[in-house]
Structures are given as C-alpha cells and as structure tokens.
Amino acid sequence: GAGVSQSPSNKVTEKGKDVELRCDPISGHTALYWYRQRLGQGLEFLIYFQGNSAPDKSGLPSDRFSAERTGESVSTLTIQRTQQEDSAVYLCASSFNLLSTDTQYFGPGTRLTVL
Amino acid sequence: AQTVTQSQPEMSVQEAETVTLSCTYDTSESDYYLFWYKQPPSRQMILVIRQEAYKQQNATENRFSVNFQKAAKSFSLKISDSQLGDAAMYFCAYPAGTYKYIFGTGTRLKVLA
C-alpha cells in the first residue's frame, strides 16, 4: 500500500478482555515500531521489529503486552486482560532500515478505550 | 539520561505570521539526527523536517526551518507564513540509540484566521 495502515481505527472493550491491534507497514520496509500515546502526552516506545531478528521488547509495559511480526509483513500487538490504564492511541510506524537516520512513517493509529 | 523537552504545551499564531516552537534535548552523543513531526487531528504523524547534527547549516523545507544550536542542545522549529492547515500537535524527536526514538510531550499549535 501507499502508507502504513492500522486496524481497527477505534476499539472499545471491557476491562479484562483481550484485544488485537494490526499494523500493515509500507512494502519493503524492514523495520516496524509500536508506540503508545496517552491522552495529551508524547509517544512512548513499546517494541520494534527488524527483519527476522528477535524484537526488542524492553518498552513493553507489562507481560500482558505482546507483539508478533512475520518476516517483513503485518504485525499484531496483543493486550491481554485489558485495564483502564491501557486506554490510549497505539501508533505503528515503519522505516526502510533500522537506523536512527531513517524517517519513520506512521499509521493513523488505533484508539483503544477500555471501559 | 537522554531526554527531549518541549516547554510550550500550546502556541497560537495569526494566519500568515511566523511562529517558533522550542525543543531542547540532552545527549552525550556527538553525531545524531533530530526530527520534527506533525500530528493533525487525523492522528497520523507526518515528518516535517529533520536535522543532521554534524551539519552546521540549518535544515529548511519550504515554510519550515529549524534553528539548531548544538552547543545549547536546542532544536526549534520556525513556521513562516502560517496556514490554517498547520494547526496540529508538533513533536520533537531524538533517536536514542539505533532505533529507539524519544519524543517530547508536544506543542499544540493553533492558527487563528
């Protein structure tokens, strides 16, 4: 596709339920990133993927959060047993390389609301 | 610790006027890049401009330019001839390491007609 896409655009769930958020990166981009953006705040790094390398999960806030990516394609961020503090916009970005010089291209995000 | 600080939660500018958004950062690195991203209400972050720290010359992209003061660790964004479409949240970002970006808390820019 022309850009990074994310689905769903909005997700409302009940506390305790599991949710899956999807990210489709730009074709050919080897690096993929997940961020969390709480209301009125900046972006909080969660996890990145680079090709087939093991992802860096150091930013994940708890073991309820996990993410997968198959090769250089779609990624899924899963939040188990959601809590109200998980309510945020979850942004995905991709870049051609895993380099700090490379521009990250962001998707429109998924707004998660946990009731 | 590497940090990025945006001290202006909100700024307003009259259409066609110029506004400057400030950003300071803290790093012990000597060679790095800095980025300004724009986030309109659609939520999609868009790269506005980036600066290479080893370059003396300030980056410019049309109406957007930066004032990069390496010694002061300051990276401000100047928007000239402001347009209604410039209204958005603006985030300053610094890549801490190979891939981990640190973002500031953002500045909300309002453009007044």
Q: What is the CATH number of the domain that holds A92?
A: 2.60.40.10
Q: What is the pLDDT of residue B54?
A: 83
Show the DSSP H helices in B3-63 as ranges. none
Query: What one-character DSSP code corresponds to residue B1?
Result: -
Which pair of structure tokens corresponds to residue A103? 């521009």
* A9 in any annotated domain: yes
With an 8 Å Cβ cutoff, is B50 touching chain A?
A: yes
With an 8 Å Cβ cutoff, is B108 touching chain A?
A: no
Q: What is the pLDDT of residue A98?
A: 64
Which pair of structure tokens corresponds to residue B35? 């980025």
CATH code for the domain in which residue B13 is found: 2.60.40.10
Residue ranges for chain B with pLDDT beneath 70 = 1, 97-99
**Residue A35 lies in domain:** 5-97
Burial of A34 (0-12, 13-18, 19+ CB in 10 A): buried
Query: What one-character DSSP code corresponds to residue B79?
Result: E
Q: What is the pLDDT of residue A100?
A: 64
CA atoms within 13 A on the CB side of B48: 25
Looking at the structure of chain B, the number of domains it has is: 1
* Per-residue pLDDT in tens (0 to 9) along chain A, 115 residues: 579 999 999 999 999 999 999 999 999 898 899 999 998 788 888 998 887 777 877 888 999 999 999 877 899 999 999 999 999 999 999 988 766 677 889 999 999 999 9
Q: What is the pLDDT of residue A59?
A: 85
Residue A84 in 3-state DSSP?
Answer: helix
Q: What is the pLDDT of residue A70?
A: 82
Q: What is the pLDDT of residue A113?
A: 97
* A104 in any annotated domain: no
**Residue B58 lies in domain:** 3-112
Looking at the structure of chain A, the number of domains it has is: 1
**What are the angstrom distances between the C-alpha of A69 and each of A3, A77, B32?**
18, 9, 28
Chain A CB contacts of B50 under 8 Å are 103
Cβ distance of A31 and B97 shorter than 8 Å: no
- To the nearest whole Å, the CA of B6 is away from the closest chain A CA by 10
> Of B32, B46, B91, which has the smallest distance from its Cβ to A100's Cβ?
B32
Give per-residue pLDDT as tens, A85-109: 999 999 999 988 766 677 889 999 9
- Alpha-carbon distance of A41 to A35, in angstroms, equals 12
Residue the block writes with tokens 């659609």: B42
- The b-or-e profile of B65-100 (16+ CB within 10 A means b, else e) is bbebeeeebebbbbbeebeeebbbbbbbbbbbeebb
* A13 in any annotated domain: yes
Residue A43 in 3-state DSSP?
Answer: strand
